[in-house]
Amino acid sequence: MLYAHPVLLIGLTGGIGSGKSTVAALLEARGALIVDADAIAREVVEPGSPTLALLVERFGPEILGPDGALNRSALANIAFASSELRKELESITHPAIGEVFFKRLAEAPADAVVVHDVPLLAESAGALARGYGAIVVVEAPKELRLLRLDGRGVPRADAEARMAAQATDEERREIATHVIDNQGDHDTLEYLIDGLWNDLLILRDENAALAAQAEELAP
């Protein structure tokens, strides 16, 4: 899964309540550059953005709140009414998201380990064809995840519905190169991330060697 690019790109995913965000923070503390897919998706539709203007043009001003910001629920109610409308939504948002993502990747230092934090990576078509040097999946038992979400104020019924709408653990494992079992305490997780980080540094060095070799062979 290595590719000839000086930056090592890692996919990071996990079901709601698994602790993926905690893992991202621990990797960032070790030197990883985190690119948050959800944050980019929010950024490209901020008030005044070209993408928001295109969404309003296609789906109508009712997708805006009183403050002029995108009302995501209103947009979802319209755009997810059919597969055709959903594809139209994606045709507007995906290019904008991709542009920001590749800009962040291009700006990364040549020796960086870039972690692409993508909650629904396993649910995305072509997840394995994106040039990831590795895909890290964070797991935890369902009851523990529900307990964590309850601590965040998410009602159990809502949490279970969101879990049911996501990929299963088995489906996420099918694309994984590394699985982090996050059901232990914080010290255990730190230990696991130390091991993962060592693996990623080895991959980074191998990837850099491939990139250098490709450059030498280029006409």
Residues 76-129 pLDDT 10s: 889 888 889 989 998 999 999 989 998 998 899 988 999 999 988 998 765 555
pTM (predicted TM-score)? 0.86
In this predicted structure, what is the pLDDT of residue 2?
40
Report, at the CATH architecture level, how domain 7-31+111-207 is classified. 3-Layer(aba) Sandwich (3.40)
Q: Is the pLDDT of residue 211 over 90?
A: no
Taking a C-beta distance cutoff of 8 angstroms, is the pair 114, 21 a contact? Answer: no
CATH 3.40.50.300 residue ranges in the chain?
7-31+111-207
In this predicted structure, what is the pLDDT of residue 9?
93
d(CA 46, CA 28): 26
Q: Element (H or E) spanning 146, and its range?
A: helix 142-151
pLDDT confidence band for 210 (50 / 70 / 90):
confident
d(CA 120, CA 14): 8
In this predicted structure, what is the pLDDT of residue 207?
83
In this predicted structure, what is the pLDDT of residue 81?
86
Mutual orientation of helices 50-59 and 83-107 as an angle, nearest 10°?
180
Sign of the Cα torsion 32, 37, 42, 46 reads positive
In this predicted structure, what is the pLDDT of residue 80?
85
d(CA 74, CA 203): 43
Counting residues of the chain whose pLDDT is more than 90, the rounded percentage is 75
Q: Is the pLDDT of residue 64 over 90?
A: yes
Taking a C-beta distance cutoff of 8 angstroms, is the pair 205, 133 a contact? Answer: no
Instruction: Give the tens place of pLDDT for each residue, 146-185.
Output: 999 999 999 999 999 989 989 999 999 999 999 999 999 9
When comparing pLDDT for 218 and 42, which is higher? 42
CA dihedral 71, 76, 81, 83 (to 10 degrees): 130
